[in-house]
Amino acid sequence: MVKVTYVSHDGDKTTVDAEEGASVMHTAIANDVEGIVGECGGAMMCATCHCYVDDAWTAAVGVRHDEEGEMLEGASAEVTERSRLSCQIKLTPELDGLVVHLPEDQI
Amino acid sequence: MPLAPMNESITLDQLTHDPYPIYRRLRAESPVTRVAAAGRTFLTKAHLTKAVKDDPVLFSSDDPNTPMKPAFRAHTLMRKDGTEHMAERKAIMPALSPKRIQADWDPLYESLADEYISRLPRGETVDLFTALCGPLAARILAHILGIPDATDEQMQRWSQRLIDGAGNYGWKAEPFAASESANDEMDALFDELRPVRAAENDGSAFSIMLNADDPIPMSQIYSNIKIAIGGGINEPRDALATAVYGLLDNPDQLAQVRAEDAWGKAFEEAIRWVAPIQISSRLVTEDTELGGFDIPKGDTVMTIQASACRDEELFENGEEFFVFRAKNPHQAFGNGPHHCAGAHVARRTVGKIILPLLFDRFPDMRMTHRDDVIWKGFAFRGPITLPVVLN
């Protein structure tokens, strides 16, 4: 199990136990975390699972790839250098304790 | 587990006329139902439709015997899975990506919308469906695809014939004859334009696919353009008509949308309320179960996203048009790998450009009467007339 904390736009924190190998997006959906839509189910065909990786975790999570960056351009909320599509972040033991922040809206 | 109950009373005519009371009943009483008239297992709850769309291995789009094949003269990406689907989808996606749309296409969309809205006659009763919604959707798409030489009439006629052919499950001769002649016209135009689009990458879908480093076969480039024609006109057309109807029928909401510049929300609510694409089919590849019933391998399940979009578990008063919902997790663009490739274009054109421009230009626009608006469709649905007085 890997712990992930989602911080809503209003500052509410939700911490859940995720399965190793699951994505940050799928984990949010499976645990009814509000603020992640994931319209395309992780096929990287939409930009509705946008999240901001917490400063302390950006190095461990790594950088986004080109296609992900292009799709992120369609995100509803502001895109920053910490922006990722949460469907593209796979949870490994190294990410135990990960914190991501959720944008104001996804659509 | 038992097989899902069989319903022999629901007819395709009823579903075409008004499916919503039927879906509401099915959601409450029998969310997994084999509907004899359609030869499909209907799934009417949101968690079921999403689960099916998100699992393309167990619920496959691959149907080698689909009438889409003769209708499009190709086995298209809509009916493929996995890497085969991804290769063809990735080939066209750069033309539909948010970046491309905002950087290259926005000014063109705005000028086309302005041109088509400006020519509507003032002080008269106009059927917006035929005078604006269809032609403007056709024009914008023709430019995105790189075939602006096709007329609005051609684009709309080709689209309808492709759709009619693709839905020709009775394998009758006439719809295929009509789609054949449309294919002849499209293939001739594509052949004619190909050298120009290949010579210089102008950012259109045709040009991008031709100029890719590792292009997909020409037959699939053509079929991708046809899929976009078949699937890219009715949806924005119907979304626009439905949004205009919803706003005119609810003046309080229209006032608030204006005040808050909430046109994007109005667009999302319109496609939730009446999803332009109401249903999809998936082939079951292994024995499984859904909602407490056995679903055998070889069965075809029909995800009714129109019904999922009104599911009481997700939406309060889902039968009503209400723009200012706290949450709107609709499934109108589908889910999973086949999630609508045109979602960004539609959100941009209809939600951000056309709706505000139309209501800005005609602030006192009103429907002749809400009962004059005729709704139709089982697979695709929207108003087929939208008479309004423009002033």
CATH number of the domain bearing residue B221 = 1.10.630.10
Question: What's the confidence (pLDDT) of residue A105?
Answer: 82
DSSP state of B339: S
Tens of pLDDT along chain A (107 residues) come to: 899 999 999 999 999 999 999 999 999 988 989 899 888 888 888 888 999 999 999 999 999 988 898 888 778 788 999 999 999 999 999 999 999 999 998 87
What CATH code would you report for A2-101? Answer: 3.10.20.30
Confirm or reject contact between B309 and chain A (CB < 8 A).
no
Decide if B223 is inside a domain. yes
Distance from CA of B327 to the nearest CA of A (A): 10
- Interchain contact A37–B (C-beta under 8 A): yes
pLDDT confidence of residue B24: 98
Q: Which chain B residue lies closest to A37 (C-alpha atoms)?
A: B329
User: Distance between CA B52 and CA B290 in Å, rounded?
Assistant: 9
For residues B359 and B218, the answer to whether their CB atoms sit within 8 Å is no
What would the two tokens of residue B202 be?
């102008």
How many domains does chain B contain in total? 1
Domain of B222, in residue numbers:
6-389
For residue B105, the tally of other CB atoms under 10 A from its CB is 21
The H or E element that residue B311 is part of is none
At residue A42, the pLDDT reads 86
What pLDDT does residue A71 have? 82
Best of B81, B97, B305 to disrupt the A interface by mutation (most A CBs within 10 Å)? B97
pLDDT of residue B184: 98
Distance CA B112, CA B91 (A): 26
Give the gap in angstroms from C-alpha B83 to the nearest C-alpha of chain A: 12
DSSP state of A22: -
Helix ranges restricted to H, chain B:
12-17, 20-29, 46-53, 68-72, 82-96, 98-100, 106-118, 128, 134-145, 152-166, 173-199, 205-210, 218-232, 234-248, 251-260, 263-273, 305-308, 343-346, 355-361
Does B102 contact chain A (CB < 8 Å)? Answer: yes
What pLDDT score was predicted for residue B133?
Answer: 96
The interaxial angle of helices B234-248 and B218-232, nearest 10 deg, is: 20
State whether residue B111 sits within 8 Å of chain A by CB: no
Structure-block tokens of residue A75? 């995100």
Tell if the CB–CB gap between A70 and B264 is shorter than 8 Å. Answer: no
Per-residue model confidence (pLDDT) at position A45: 80
Nearest alpha-carbon partner for B290 in B279, B280, B303, B281: B303
Name the DSSP letter for residue B31.
Answer: S
Q: The tokens 């102008």 sit on which residue?
A: B202
Residues of B in contact with A107 (CB under 8 A): 264, 268, 328, 347
Residue A49 forms contact with B (CB below 8 Å):
no
Cβ-based contacts of A106 with chain B (< 8 Å): none
List CB contacts (< 8 A) between A42 and chain B: 54
Q: What's the CA gap between B111 and B132, in Å, rounded?
A: 14
Q: Does A25 touch chain B (CB under 8 A)?
A: no
Radius of gyration over every alpha carbon of chain B, rounded to an integer in angstroms: 21
**Hey, how many other C-beta atoms are within 10 angstroms of the C-beta on B285?**
16
The verdict on ipTM greater than 0.90 is no
CB-closest option in B89, B98, B101 to A47: B98
d(CA B86, CA B101): 21
Please tell me the distance in Å from B289's CA to the nearest CA on chain A. Answer: 19
Q: Which of B97, B333, B343 sits opposite A70 (nearest CB)?
A: B97
Residue identified by tokens 């619920």 is B59
DSSP-derived 3-state class of residue B212: coil
B291 in contact with A at a CB cutoff of 8 Å?
A: no
* DSSP bridge partners of B363: none
CA distance B349 to B359: 14
Going by C-beta distance under 8 Å and a sequence separation of 6 or more, which residues neighbour residue B101?
A74, B344, B345, B348
Does A39 contact chain B (CB < 8 Å)? yes
Query: How high is the pLDDT of residue A30?
Result: 87
Residue B362: predicted pLDDT: 96
Q: Does B329 touch chain A (CB under 8 A)?
A: yes
Asked, for residue B1, whether it belongs to a domain, the answer is: no
For B215, which DSSP code?
A: P
C-beta atoms of A41 and B102 within 8 A: no
Distance (Å, whole) CA A63 – CA A53: 10
Q: Quick check: B328 contacting A, CB < 8 Å?
A: yes
Block mean pLDDT (10 aa), chain B, length 391: 96 95 98 95 97 93 86 91 88 81 84 96 94 96 97 98 89 95 98 97 95 94 96 95 98 98 97 96 96 96 97 97 93 91 90 96 95 95 96 80
Instruction: Considering only the beta carbons, identify the residue of A40, A70, A74 that sits closest to B335.
Output: A40
**Nearest 5°: CA angle at B375, between B372 and B376?**
140
Give the residue carrying structure tokens 């924005």: B236
Q: Is B87 on the interface with A (CB under 8 A)?
A: no
Model pLDDT, residue B111 = 96
